[in-house]
Structure 1
Amino acid sequence: MDYEKLIQVRDEKNCFARELGICTEEIREGYARVSLRVEEKHMNFVGSVHGGCLFSLADTVAGAASSSYGYYSTTVDGNIHYLSPAMNVKMLIAQAQVIKYGKRISVFEVKITDENGRLLAQGTYTYYNLGKQIEL
């Protein structure tokens, strides 16, 4: 698997993630890391990064980790625990690690931190392998 090409394809074709400003930094088998430079458009009315933005970041990184096996997949389930408000942060870093890789169903753990390594959110995401290889 050409992970650099996979990063390029994901960043080019994932319009929603691109609109949010999510950048894929690393993909390797069962793992992915993405980042997001926080802007005003990501904030809610109390001055914290919007929970929907954090959820999208988590879903995006878990999807990237799922794609590391070379197949298209889709989210089956996702849950997130918001552990600390994302206030006064400049950068968000999300990492996903495989918990279980199966023939059709795979599960990933996600952690989101700020630029100082403070854990902001943690979740578990489940993906369904669509059985079609990603064309690079």
Structure 2
Amino acid sequence: MRFAICLLPLCLAACGGSDNVADNVVGPPISVTSETPGDWSALAGMIGRRPSESGLIENSPISVDLAARLGPDSAAYRDAMMRAGPLVRDGALMVSRGPDAWLVIQPAEHAFRAGLLRNGRWQDWQTPGASVPRPAA
């Protein structure tokens, strides 16, 4: 009986309200991507729009995976892509190019390849295990 009386306050505290849980929730680190790819069909609505106006880099189905792959370089990449041209279709690919950055998306494979010009040299990243081509020169 004493155990039940001691346990009662703990149970009541745990059931105190749904807002208590939300304050303590921590999402996965940005370096972790899901095994199940998201719905990339929304990318089609970004065709013809620049990344700076469409949210392609900041708020799209590829944003988390892109930031995770680029890691500490993601801020510089995002800034460079704000000067990129519109996302266009190139066969099965979607491509956006800028003076200092580019992005090639292969939606059917849930894969991408991103490039950033740094110190006169191109550095690029791509979805692990993917074979996404660089954009045509």
In the superposition, the TM-score normalised over structure 2's length comes to 0.30
Q: Considering only CA atoms, is the larger Rg found in Structure 1 or Structure 2?
A: 2
In the superposition, the TM-score normalised over structure 1's length comes to 0.30
Which structure has more relative contact order (CA 8 Å, sep 6+)? It is 1
